[in-house]
A and B are shown apart, each in its own frame.
Chain A
Amino acid sequence: MSRYVLKRVLLAIVTIFIITLITFFTMNAIPGGPFNSEKASSPEVRAALEKRYNLDKPLGEQYIIYMGNLFHGDLGISTKTGRDIAQTITESFAVSARLGGMAAVVAIFFGIVFGSIAALMRNKLPDRLIVFLSTLATAVPSFVLATLLLYMFCIRFKIFQVWTPEAPNYVLPVIALSLYPMAYITRLTKTSMLDVLNQDYVRTARAKGVMPWKVIFKHALRNALIPVITYVGPMLASILTGSMVIESIFTIGGLGSKFVTGINNRDYPMIMGTTIFLAVLMVVMNLVSDLVYKLVDPRINFD
């Protein structure tokens, strides 16, 4: 076990290191620099600015300086706004995390409930309905759904305001973000639940007269949820990046929009900061979900 954990942690560190490399050199490959757009600035001002942000040094040296600062916990300051990157990220991440967290909770809860219902009532009306709807939901891109929701509920019927952090105005973005993972979890839960319900220990539990609800919750569901756990890590990651589009549709100033405007402004420290932050988040989440998976299911061997 400890060897496996060590291996995975090392791999995670290498991954994050490679991401910093890719991001740093690809973003510098985009033509144009952060100070090219300011027409008014004279060459001297520009040179001074570039000196301040170390942009006059060769690329390799810039990278080493950046990584050195990173290890001190310094993400630098934005070349566009001059604000501290770490602070900007924490602020906008609070918004994204709140939205993504709610979407994740909704997706997991309803996904498990619907999946279990579908498995327990196999081939009956509720099962068919759930399968039909979840198949449909996996075919609708989130941006289409978000735009349609916005049009229906904000413009046509004026039930919600477009976006404010107060309830109930985050209902629409949460629905738009959670529908796809919810449909996926529903399918996942259903198949693994069907699998578990055919196991011998479920039959034994039924035969010895355990209450049906206890069989479902204690014997079946707990084992059926194991595959769902592996999906939670990647799902959180995809919700956080997928929120980029949803955020721009509902004009929420989250982390995703910071990344995209960062690219457009050639705001190098901002691009690096958001990428590293999100990458670390994702790699850690994937790691945790893999480790939890191995912890809850002792049958899986560590290679």
Chain B
Amino acid sequence: MSEMDKMPKKAPFSMQIDLSKFEKATEEEKRQQDVMSESTTFFKDSMRKLFKNPLAVFSIVVLVCIILLIIIAPKVVPYGYSEMLQVNGVRDKTAQNLAPMTYSEKELEYMEETGEKLFPHIFGTDELCRDYFIRVVYGTRVSLSVGLFASIIVLIIGVLYGSISGYAGGRVDLIMMRVVDIIYSLPDMLVMILLSVVLKEVMPDMPGLLGKLGSNMVAIFMVFGMLYWVGMARLIRGQILSVKENEYVLAARTIGAKPGRIIRRHILPNCLSVIIITTALQIPSAIFTESFLSFIGLGVQAPMPSLGSLANAARGGLNSYPYKLLFPALMICLIVLALNLLGDGLRDALDPKLRK
């Protein structure tokens, strides 16, 4: 027995434990206590759960395919989304409303003459002799980026507002939440239409990336940001109200951490699952709204296509060219479906309690 294990002399009526009655654990017994599995983080564990969900995996695959398509297709397909088809440098007027996978008369002539193979029009062409496939690809690009950016805007405003309101509490919270209540009960579609008309007309031409997107697109982002952050703000506030009662927040406050630091380091990481899930489910709703606005003619500026405006344009020739509606419509459905399923999967993986 080493010096440390020796007991001091026991007092007669003391409750002190008599160490001599205990045995030391053998090496084998110690090994039984070893943790065999690798330690895992919360994030890793949820990702594992997510990848076990077949629907979520399916939707990730679909989304990756669509993203690859919209990145690669414009590089491979030799046509532009706004350019009318040309054969040998001359505008090809026979290439109007071609059916999928066909060539126009001039193109056939040209191919016979030179023996060169032209890139096929996978989805045909539209009434202005533009390649429809590349238009759908660009439309998908526009719709997806609207969904993504609009959701990011909603995320930023919602998280900032919600966390301030939830953390401050008291009168600040009361006033901030009344504002949210009012915006929440605005008829969103009416305000949306009104604001996008105004912003479209008032917005000056902007330089750089924003100018390239067109003022309509920026208007959509702004309107979306202005109206839809309230749902996020409410959720975040609710989360923060419950998280801030925890002891570790009290501890942080006791040692004098500033409110900003407490929110950033201690509270927000604990609200992360709610934030991720809500953002994921916000994207399809943004895409829906954008396509709705484009459909009634308030969305992106021509000649830039979006899935909604393509669907709207297809209505004119519905009788003769129904496939023109089908392609953008299928694309919207596919994206929204995949995002919805992914959002559901994320919710189940990150926070099973939220399942409703």
Chain A residues within 8 Å of B, Cβ to Cβ? 11-12, 14-15, 18-19, 22-23, 26-27, 29-31, 135-136, 138-141, 143-144, 147-148, 150-151, 155, 191, 237-238, 241-242, 244-245, 248-249, 259-260, 263, 271, 275, 278-279, 282-283, 286
Contact = CB atoms under 8 A, between A and B. Distances in A.
Contacts of A245: 292, 295-296
B182 interface: yes
Contacts of A19: 186-187, 191
B178 interface: yes
A164 to B, nearest CB: 20
Interface stretch (B36-44, B80-88, B336-344): B336-344
28 contacts: A11-B182, A18-B186, A19-B187, A22-B191, A26-B195, A29-B198, A135-B340, A139-B284, A141-B292, A141-B308, A141-B329, A141-B333, A141-B336, A143-B291, A143-B292, A143-B311, A143-B312, A147-B315, A150-B318, A151-B322, A191-B355, A237-B187, A241-B190, A245-B292, A260-B193, A271-B194, A275-B190, A286-B185
A121 to B, nearest CB: 19
A286 B318 CA distance: 38
B65 interface: no
A12 B292 CA distance: 28
Contacts of B292: 141, 143, 245
Contact of A155 (B318, B337, B340, B355): B318
Interface of B: 178, 181-182, 185-191, 193-195, 197-198, 201-202, 284, 288, 291-292, 295-296, 308, 311-312, 314-315, 318-319, 322, 325, 329, 332-334, 336-337, 340-341, 355-356
A261 B333 CA distance: 29
Nearest to B192: A241
A276 B312 CA distance: 29
A148 B332 CA distance: 14
B300 to A, nearest CB: 16
6 shortest A-B CB distances, which residue pairs? A139-B337, A241-B189, A144-B329, A139-B336, A139-B333, A26-B198
Contacts of A248: 296
B340 A138 contact: yes
Contacts of B341: 135
Nearest to B355: A191
Contacts, number: 120
Contacts of B187: 19, 237, 241, 275, 278-279, 282
A252 to B, nearest CB: 15
Contacts of B288: 141
A140 B333 contact: yes
A35 B142 CA distance: 36
A24 B287 CA distance: 28
Q: Which of A30, A138, A143, A241 has the most CB of B within 10 A?
A: A143
Nearest to A274: B190
A256 to B, nearest CB: 9
Given A19-B191, A143-B292, A147-B311, 19 more contacts: A11-B181, A15-B181, A22-B186, A29-B202, A135-B341, A136-B333, A138-B340, A139-B336, A141-B292, A141-B333, A141-B336, A143-B308, A147-B325, A155-B319, A241-B190, A259-B190, A278-B187, A278-B190, A282-B187
B201 A31 contact: yes
Contacts of A191: 355-356
Nearest to A227: B356
Given A31-B201, A143-B311, A151 B186 contact: no
* Interface of A (DSSP majority class): helix
A96 B20 CA distance: 89
A148 B178 contact: no
A3 B311 CA distance: 49
Nearest to B186: A19
Contacts of B201: 30-31
Contact of B332 (A22, A29, A144, A242): A144
B144 to A, nearest CB: 15
B216 to A, nearest CB: 14
Nearest to B202: A29
Nearest to A242: B189
Contacts of A18: 182, 186
A144 B333 contact: yes
A168 to B, nearest CB: 22
Contact of B340 (A12, A22, A139, A263): A139
Contact of A15 (B185, B284, B322): B185
A135 B337 contact: yes
Contacts of A15: 181-182, 185-186
B296 A244 contact: yes
Nearest to A282: B187
A31 B201 CA distance: 7
A134 to B, nearest CB: 11
Contacts of B191: 19, 22
A12 B185 contact: yes
Contact of A31 (B202, B308, B322): B202
A8 to B, nearest CB: 9
B318 A283 contact: no
A263 B194 contact: yes
Contact of B337 (A27, A136, A242): A136
Contacts of A286: 185
Contacts of A144: 311, 325, 329, 332-333
A141 B318 contact: no
A12 B182 CA distance: 8
A86 B314 CA distance: 36
B306 to A, nearest CB: 12
A118 to B, nearest CB: 14
Contact of A148 (B182, B329, B356): B329
B197 A263 contact: yes
Given A11-B182, A15-B182, A151 B318 contact: yes
B57 to A, nearest CB: 16
